[in-house]
Structure 1
């Protein structure tokens, strides 16, 4: 597998920040600086015969390996670099319910009954993470409960309807917080109402991955680092995987290398868009941070890449920005610092000590790739920035399918492999993100103007008589029109090629809203998701 990550690097010296591209291994991030001690694993130097060969030692591959080893299967894991060197060990650490795609769109595509089953297996993945941390007494993972999805710049009344729909149809634990409650915990003038998911949590993802690798080895799996898979032959009962120094023969192969599988499986790699996102941690802030943020859980104040954050000790861990091509994370430090100041001006000019990036794989339909590609060859990939619960889910489903002939993984058959459009697909994603960010800024300015105007025209005493129609028209004429960045015809979302289009490998069309598209309610009113807002966003 060819690494594609521009890795950030940091230093513990206060007030300085450095970054380096393509650092061997995991690179230097705040997660690396706070990682629990772990052992180095050598490369595979001898031929090996096992029941299952897993390609990729990220969260999905490690979960498959652990679960199959616990069931008595011999497992070898091949990793081109180190355990969790990329997105698995570089993400925000949010363990959330659901998927990157909204449940409204999933329901529209597969029907309510199957959507409920998919929600249940995703939630089982969330529970698996918590249970594994507890059962194995993982050090340094430190789960903290709760996730707030916040309305930024203006009230979103439809959040309450979406939360009620998730509770009624899927049994989700989702509560509405009014703006007053939100601002008691997050003292930002930009925040309004929110949906609270109390069973979500945030963790140290690198320490979780290292703990998962240790648990897999205790169960009997063998992990080989610095061992890229250079080729594979899936034919026959015993499949063969070629590495630089040895060969592996296995009855089953699981491809869990995400966007880095391209050189090994080009057609599979072409179904993913590599999306790089950026994360920073500040220098210690101290009392100012404790006064500004009293909510201990994870926070998302967007439907796209900006911004997702959490408090870690007396620092802020803050994520924002995305690129469909590699980029030096140092270029984003100033922008992330500006985002923090915009949301929490009382913090002043905070210092960034670490900034890094991670590259995830996004599918056209925003759902993970889980299933059997050929007899005995499985894939677990495309988690799209919503991976801590869905990687656990995928690992469980594939292990049960291989060891127990369980058919639950077939729930994901409606989400076929679709060509992601190559360079054109990347460009669409990048333009969509830029357009969404510009539109949010424009709408924020318009909302700010309206609030200031309302304050200027607010009567000092009684509200007085209702405004006459003629006066209302005059006021409307004075009001500036909010500047909106137009979406593509047909609304947001990604066109999903079906039938012949998918089989012929045509490029999937995507709207400029592809990164942050609103939910599309199902046509059946009985299964309809209220409102037009995505209740479950994608943290990166």
Structure 2
């Protein structure tokens, strides 16, 4: 895979390095270019840099980016969809190719961060399981050993307790390479460096509409019309304008997220921890406390409600480490229901990059790299993600199923914890009591004999007392 680092500045199609502009009949400014990118997330910025660096005339329409959880970003291989489900969907060969690409891009992302002056955070990414999911996690590790050797290392319960400061998780997969990046720092650095690679940026001053039929595509705002031969829609917000059929298939995932102060020194592990097949917990620890996101079945409406949820789960993760009141709020993240990013071509000259809200940062860079190579006609590996674009519209029944799935996960986790506690208690009792041998009887002592039956004077009446014969 080619490097994702910014290439030297390109002059573009015009002498000034900016697209030609003219006034249309409706008094809107008309901007012509080869490629129009609609979006402001990291994938949009990385894609614009790549295309401008190889001589493409690029216009980026800056629209509000998708909301994100307040945790640090993570450069690590993998996707929100477990590897087992991915293999069932597309087979081992293609799943292995996607994992290999994500691992390569995660390593390249560190070079990109260094090139634009973004400091890296602590290393590490753990996919942790409670007792009820330990067997499934072992299956995940065995599968990754086949399709992506060297990507995941198994961590046992004793090491986890030492690293995390609690005993909530009994096993984990450590993903490599993995590193935390300060929230939004890489996207901000790329945005500041946009002028150096000849990208023309336009701020959207109102609603965006798209006409993506025909050879030339149109992206409109109240004051500007962009005409391009290639259009890339980046972010779930712009899907309603350019790909409403995909927007109708997105799933709303609700979180309570924020910070919980800690007492004393933080745990030894500073990387990101994501729960496997459980509550939907994602967190990391820094000097300011525990930064935590917990998936909820229903939207979190109040700050006090979010604080209660965060405090309850924080006490479960670090029973002796909570040192103050939690502060958080509710978040609503739109994602694909299958847990993979929506990346691919939806029509001739039209690509989408969306559904990245719950994905690691490396998935943003991977999407940008694959779309850029596909537009240049040099690579067809974008087809690996094409099967995940087939989304069906979701209705009220699908939302009810989503709510039920969260409660099922919570019930499974609580049942697993209760079973593990009962098994541990039974083991301790059995070890402390043990089978007691019968006392030895002296040889001279005669064995006890059965007492003779009564001669008919009385017998039991069935109520524990004697009964007289007639």
Same fold (TM over 0.5): yes
1:294-443 matches, cutoff 5 A: 294-323=268-297, 327-328=301-302, 330-353=304-327, 355-383=328-356, 385-443=358-416
TM-score w.r.t. the length of structure 1 is 0.70
Q: Does 1:98 align with 2:72?
A: no
Aligned residues: 410
* Structure 1 vs Structure 2 CA RMSD: 2.7
Q: State which structure, 1 or 2, has the greater radius of gyration over its C-alpha atoms.
A: 2
For 1:324 and 1:348, locate their aligned partners in 2 and report how far apart those are by CA, in whole Å: 26
Match of 1:71 among 54, 64, 87: 54
- Greater shift in the superposed pair: 190-199 or 154-163: 154-163
Q: Which residue of 2 aligns with 1:13?
A: none
Match of 1:53 among 36, 54, 76: 36
- Greater shift in the superposed pair: 355-364 or 308-317: 355-364
Match of 1:273 among 229, 236, 251: 251
Match of 2:427 among 440, 443, 454: 454
Residues 303 and 157 of structure 1, relative CA distance in 2, 3 Å threshold: closer
Residues 330 and 56 of structure 1, relative CA distance in 2, 3 Å threshold: farther
Tell me by how many angstroms 1:226 deviates.
4.5
Gap regions ≥5 residues in structure 2: 1-27, 438-470
Tell me by how many angstroms 1:215 deviates.
3.3
- Greater shift in the superposed pair: 213-222 or 395-404: 213-222
* SS of residue in 2 equivalent to 1:205: coil
Q: Which residue of 1 aligns with 2:91?
A: 111
Q: Which residue of 2 aligns with 1:500?
A: none
Larger relative contact order (C-alpha < 8 A, sep ≥ 6)?
Answer: 1
Q: Which residue of 2 aligns with 1:192?
A: 170
- Greater shift in the superposed pair: 160-169 or 235-244: 160-169
Tell me by how many angstroms 1:350 deviates.
2.6
- Greater shift in the superposed pair: 149-158 or 127-136: 149-158
Asked if the contact 1:78–1:228 (Cα under 8 Å) also holds between the matched residues in 2, the reply is: no
Residues 228 and 205 of structure 1, relative CA distance in 2, 3 Å threshold: farther
TM-score w.r.t. the length of structure 2 is 0.79
Asked if the contact 2:133–2:276 (Cα under 8 Å) also holds between the matched residues in 1, the reply is: no
Residues 64 and 422 of structure 1, relative CA distance in 2, 3 Å threshold: farther
Asked if the contact 1:159–1:176 (Cα under 8 Å) also holds between the matched residues in 2, the reply is: no
For 1:324 and 1:76, locate their aligned partners in 2 and report how far apart those are by CA, in whole Å: 39
Asked if the contact 2:299–2:330 (Cα under 8 Å) also holds between the matched residues in 1, the reply is: no
For 1:208 and 1:368, locate their aligned partners in 2 and report how far apart those are by CA, in whole Å: 20
Asked if the contact 2:123–2:178 (Cα under 8 Å) also holds between the matched residues in 1, the reply is: yes
Q: Which residue of 2 aligns with 1:86?
A: 67
Q: Does 1:231 align with 2:209?
A: yes
Residues 365 and 316 of structure 1, relative CA distance in 2, 3 Å threshold: closer
Asked if the contact 1:310–1:316 (Cα under 8 Å) also holds between the matched residues in 2, the reply is: yes
Residues 329 and 408 of structure 1, relative CA distance in 2, 3 Å threshold: farther
Task: Encode CA deviations 1:416-452: one digit per residue, 9 max, x unaligned.
Answer: 4221423332221122112211231233223223322
Tell me by how many angstroms 1:238 deviates.
2.2
